[in-house]
Amino acid sequence: MTDSKKTYYIKIDLALWYDRNFAIEADNEDEAEAIARQIARDQTQHLIGRDLPTDDSGDWTYGDQEFTTVYVEENDDA
């Protein structure tokens, strides 16, 4: 009797989401967004290129870091 099991290679992407709110003083929405994005990049530089180790058959390999702006709105309290 022969073993009928086959080997399959599967790649899984892991997406982790973090978010943070910023209060930025700027002349307009575009400038405020640009400043907040730069701060976000600066604060997350230590995550770039970091693999996640596992106890078994291989680590999770770092792939990418992407920033998405959810909203920019002016504070009406002033």
Is 48 within a domain?
yes
For residue 12, which amino acid is it?
I
Q: Check residue 67 and give its pLDDT.
A: 87
Return the structure tokens found at 33. 């967004």
**How many domains in the chain?**
1
Question: 3-state class of 70 per DSSP?
Answer: coil
Is 78 within a domain?
no
Q: Check residue 1 and give its pLDDT.
A: 60
Is 68 within a domain?
yes
Between residues 29 and 60, the one the model is more confident about = 29
**Mean pLDDT rounded to a whole number for the chain:** 89
- pLDDT at 57 exceeding the cut of 80: no
Is 13 within a domain?
no
